[in-house]
Amino acid sequence: MFRWFKNKKKKGEASQKLKSSKDVTSISKNLKTNLQVIYQQIGHSSDVIIRSFQIENSKLEAAVVYIDGLADEQVINDQILKPVLLELRKIGDVRGEKALRDELKRAMTTLSKIKTAQQIESCISHILSGGTVFFVDSSDEALLLSTPGWETRVPSEPTSEPYIRGAREGFVETLTDNIVLLRRRIRDPDFTVDIYKVGRRSKTDIAVAYIRGLANQELVDEVKRRIEQIDIDMIQETGYIEQLIEDNFLSPFPQVLATERPDKVAGNLLEGFVAIIVDNTPFVLIAPATLSMFLQTGEDYYERWMFSSMLRILRILISFIALFLPAIYVALVSFHQNLIPMDLMISIAANREGVPFPSLVEALIMEMTIEILREAGLRLPKPIGQAVGIVGGLVIGEAAVRAGIVSPIMVIVVALTAISSFALPEYAMGIAIRMLRFPMMLVAGALGLYGIMLGYIMINVHLVKLKSFGIDYLAPYVPYRLRNWKDLMIRAPIKKMRQRPQMMKTQDPQRKDS
């Protein structure tokens, strides 16, 4: 009890400390004082480098502060120190602060970004995000120099969403590179990126991207508001953001779409969606998300419309199979045998002859097995993972049937279900459906088809109630907007798609005129 109290007290202290650090300390004219303050705050770490030097002829003391490895030392030497030390010999003659600053800036003109700062805090955050800070004695301003030097990954094909036709580049872990990937696709001057720093300690950069004058302003404001409200110590991945800003955390369905593909994000931005890009992860969020978005791929728009339409209808079928097939099997086999054609019924009965479990248990065992196999194959290193797949698929399936633990038809049902759930284009929807399959099987085992109907109605009730950023999750099915059905179960020819989705309430609803 006392310990708990102590802990609480400590927590309070800690938060106070954090708060106090938020107080503003302005830069003093004395270089030594500045360096001391900085040393106090971050100098305890050995990778913080403070290099003091004297500018020749002028006796002016100066210093650069950066973090080893995070800032590019090559750039610091060639573009900051060299010009300042070699070319600015006459700097001693320069009088007046402004003139000094201009002179320094001129010397470092090859650097891409130079800003000035008056507060120590902004200097520190600049240092911690890979920049270099230049202090000069007798100046109460510091120069913030951009010298990013960390390793970045080259954009490569997104492994989570490979397309046959479509760009081979996916997002990377660097926020700026990701924004570049989007900017390269949308050269619209209205393309806007607002950057936030979220995370008490991680101070992760989060960018909210949208098209100004196109996206619904209320939606943009809502997204920003939710991001501003986030209070957490660290943001590791977009998953954190997704779970912190979603509408209903009790729903099994994903309410924000995560993607690795810049083309998909660009397409959605032009439909009035808002993208949330987080530093250090290649997954970008698209908000809001509707159910239909999880059954579509960007490739649908690249292939010819008839084929894409067929695929979309197929995906609806797939999601039903993935959700209901084992449940329907259980219901038919243990309750409604008269609904099975006689020949099939006899063959199922013959196959189940000698199986010791009721069909519900049999189905649960097999579905569990599949989930275990899937997880094992996923977590193992790739070459071993494949071996697990073979062992699981062939040996266990075949052996279980031979041993009479499960019937061969059950193996077919389970295999078809598993393949269907993997065939869904969005992993997040796939796992939601895979999970819901189990309660469906249970109700089917208890109440038969009646139970399946009840379960389906419950899912539908939930979906109808669900909203993502104020937009109905089932839109445009519910509320019914026939005009948007052009891009729903079928994908109409691009020539015929003239409007942006109505549900997005865009400020510029017309995609094109003719």
Summarize as ranges the residues that interact with another protein (CB under 8 A): 250, 333-335, 337-338, 340, 342, 345-353, 355, 358-359, 442-443, 445-448, 451
Query: Whole-number minimum distance, CB 461 to another protein, in Å?
Result: 12
Query: Whole-number minimum distance, CB 458 to another protein, in Å?
Result: 9
The contacts found for 96-99 with CB under 8 angstroms, 24 or more apart, are: 97/138, 97/139, 97/140, 97/141
DSSP class of residue 166 equals S
* Closer by beta carbon to another protein, 272 or else 455: 455
Query: Whole-number minimum distance, CB 162 to another protein, in Å?
Result: 38
* Closer by beta carbon to another protein, 101 or else 462: 462
Query: Whole-number minimum distance, CB 333 to another protein, in Å?
Result: 5
* Closer by beta carbon to another protein, 16 or else 337: 337
CB 226 within 8 A of CB 249: no
Task: Give 194's strand partners.
Answer: 208
Nearest one of 145, 69, 155, 164 to 107, comparing CA atoms: 145
* Closer by beta carbon to another protein, 25 or else 251: 251
Q: Rounded to the nearest 5°, which phi and psi values hold at 116?
A: -115, 155
The rounded distance, in Å, linking the Cα atoms of 143 and 352 is 78
Q: Rounded to the nearest 5°, which phi and psi values hold at 378?
A: -75, -40
* Closer by beta carbon to another protein, 355 or else 380: 355
Query: Whole-number minimum distance, CB 200 to another protein, in Å?
Result: 23
* Closer by beta carbon to another protein, 350 or else 387: 350
Query: Whole-number minimum distance, CB 332 to another protein, in Å?
Result: 8
Residues with Cβ within 8 Å of 458's Cβ and at least 6 positions away in sequence, in order, are: none
Query: Whole-number minimum distance, CB 272 to another protein, in Å?
Result: 31
* Closer by beta carbon to another protein, 443 or else 475: 443
Q: Which two tokens stand for residue 2?
A: 């006392």
Three-class SS state of 507: coil
* Closer by beta carbon to another protein, 154 or else 342: 342
Query: Whole-number minimum distance, CB 290 to another protein, in Å?
Result: 24
Give how far Cα 427 sits from Cα of 56, 83, 295, 299, 422, Å.
61, 52, 10, 16, 8
CB 81 within 8 A of CB 107: no
Query: Whole-number minimum distance, CB 359 to another protein, in Å?
Result: 6
Give how far Cα 420 sits from Cα of 100, 324, 325, 425, Å.
68, 11, 10, 10
Q: What is the DSSP string of 270-295?
A: HTT-EEEEETT-S-EEEES--GGGGG
Three-class SS state of 52: strand
Query: Whole-number minimum distance, CB 337 to another protein, in Å?
Result: 5
First-residue to last-residue Cα distance in the chain: 73
* Closer by beta carbon to another protein, 365 or else 442: 442
The rounded distance, in Å, linking the Cα atoms of 106 and 113 is 12
* Closer by beta carbon to another protein, 38 or else 409: 409
